[in-house]
Amino acid sequence: MQNLIGILRTPVGLPAYSTTQLGNDLGTQLSNLDQGFNNVSRVHAAVGTRLRELDSLGNASSDLDIQYQGSLSELQDLDYAKAISEFTLQQTYLEAAQKSFAQISGLSLFNYL
């Protein structure tokens, strides 16, 4: 950039600096500016991609936080008395079904006659 400013400040028409030389120098500096702009654009695109990834990870993290809070709440808010009574009731149903199956499986067709 400093080279471009220096070139633009140089008076044209001096014997040591012709208009052809000025055109060549300006062309070189414009090419350098284009390269710099392309580099900035490439970095800008890469940063944008990374920002999108961070947003996506942030959203996923928030969703997991909500899910974990729900699971934790279910565990902490468990009514142990109710859970134990439901478990005992289910266990009683299972034992009754097992006893009924054992009695029925021991019967044969002759027992019905």
Domain ranges (residues) in the chain = 79-113
pLDDT, position 73: 85
Q: Which two tokens stand for residue 9?
A: 């400040």
Distance CA 58, CA 45 (A): 20
Distance CA 29, CA 7 (A): 9
- Check pLDDT > 70 for residue 112: no
- 0.85 exceeded by pTM: no
Distance CA 18, CA 106 (A): 117
Distance CA 112, CA 30 (A): 106
- Check pLDDT > 90 for residue 103: no
